[in-house]
């Protein structure tokens, strides 16, 4: 069955998500980087929190776990590959497993690159992908624990999902990502239109999530290293997709636009 999603802005630019199974009412929170706002909203909704879903070990995604567990009794699920660097897990998950939230089911997708054990959760019935710091709107995560080939393989997995899949990422980085995309592909009309939309949303203090996989395929340069315009821009017409992706990531790391 499907889920409903509520965005919870946290810290400076993080997003956590309250995910509710529409049939059973079971509730999970994805990546609570702080407890206070999550706990306040959970209590406003009646106090139910069944699960905490973690994507990776970084503190801005896990720091609220202990307080939430103590206050609600929620159980914790996260990547088995990173269990030693996470709060205690009640369920350790790996690629291809299915996590059940009430009657809803999420497929677990391993996406190493940003961290070695990074996971994404795909609720296929409703088309909701929680991709944290692997795929951002118009961007991708930095390569803290993986190389370009590893991250490109992870992004390629996500890019092959159905185009209507909703992308719920871990940060509001889209304005900076849009400016980089315009630098990479200044003549692309889809990128220019998307950048205008992002500017409008942020000027209204509205989130740019969710995006969709289809929109990201069309406007996110990190999903398009095969694009001839991007290859020309970087002077890498004969390089592999992974090499072009790596050059894009390095360019973004130093981008000042």
DSSP states of 2-35: -EEEEEEEETTTEEEEEEEETTT--EEEE--S-S
Q: What total of structural domains would you count in the chain?
A: 1
Q: Is 133 considered catalytic here?
A: yes
Q: Is 57 considered catalytic here?
A: no
Catalytic entry in 31, 56, 57, 82: 56
Farthest CA pair distance, the chain:
57
pLDDT at 163 over 90: yes
Model confidence band, residue 256 (pLDDT cutoffs 50, 70, 90): confident
Catalytic entry in 21, 31, 58, 188: 58
Catalytic entry in 50, 61, 82, 128: 61
Mean pLDDT of 174-182: 98
pLDDT at 1 over 80: no
Q: Give the three-class secondary structure for 142.
A: coil
Candidates 5, 20, 44; CA nearest to 102 is: 20
Candidates 69, 30, 37; CA nearest to 170 is: 30
Q: How far apart are CA 254 and CA 257, in angstroms?
A: 9
Please state the pTM of the whole predicted model.
Answer: 0.97
Looking up residue 32, the CATH number of its domain turns out to be 3.60.15.10
Q: Is 13 considered catalytic here?
A: no
Buried b (16+ CB within 10 A) or exposed e, 234-253: bebeeeebbbbbbbbbeebe
Task: Return the bridge partners of 110, or none.
Answer: 119
pLDDT at 257 over 80: no
Catalytic entry in 31, 57, 82, 114: 114
Catalytic entry in 21, 50, 57, 171: 171
Give residue-wise pLDDT tens across range 195-236: 999 999 999 999 999 999 999 999 999 999 999 999 999 999
Task: Return the bridge partners of 145, or none.
Answer: none
Q: Is 114 considered catalytic here?
A: yes
Domain that residue 24 falls in: 3-253
Candidates 173, 175, 184, 82; CA nearest to 133 is: 173
Q: What percent of the chain has pLDDT over 90?
A: 98
Q: How far apart are CA 237 and CA 69, in angstroms?
A: 51
Q: Is 118 considered catalytic here?
A: no
What are 117's two structure tokens? 């054990």
104-110 and 119-123: which strand pairing? Answer: antiparallel
Catalytic entry in 50, 128, 133, 188: 133
């Amino acid at each position: 069955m499907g889920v409903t999603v509520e965005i919870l802005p946290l810290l400076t630019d993080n997003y956590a998500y309250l995910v509710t199974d529409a049939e059973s009412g079971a509730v999970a929170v994805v990546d609570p980087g702080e407890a206070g706002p999550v706990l306040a909203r959970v209590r406003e909704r009646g106090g139910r929190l069944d699960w905490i879903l973690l994507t990776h070990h970084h503190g801005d995604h896990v720091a609220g776990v202990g307080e939430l567990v103590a206050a609600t009794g929620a159980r914790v699920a996260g990547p088995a590959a990173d269990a030693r660097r996470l709060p205690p897990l009640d369920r350790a998950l790996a690629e291809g497993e299915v996590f059940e939230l009430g009657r809803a089911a999420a497929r677990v997708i391993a996406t190493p690159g940003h961290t070695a054990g990074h996971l994404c959760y795909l609720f296929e019935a409703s088309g909701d992908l929680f991709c944290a710091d692997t795929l951002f709107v118009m961007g991708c995560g930095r390569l803290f624990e993986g190389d370009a080939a590893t991250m490109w393989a992870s992004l390629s997995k996500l890019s092959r999902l159905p185009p209507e899949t909703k992308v719920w990422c871990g940060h509001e980085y889209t304005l900076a990502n849009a400016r980089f995309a315009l630098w990479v592909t200044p003549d692309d009309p889809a990128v220019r239109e998307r950048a205008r939309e992002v500017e409008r949303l942020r000027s209204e203090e509205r989130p740019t999530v969710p995006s969709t996989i289809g929109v990201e395929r069309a406007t996110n340069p990190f999903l398009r290293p095969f694009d001839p315009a991007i290859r020309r821009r970087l002077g890498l017409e004969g390089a592999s997709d992974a090499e072009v992706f790596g050059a894009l990531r390095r360019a973004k790391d130093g981008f000042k636009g």
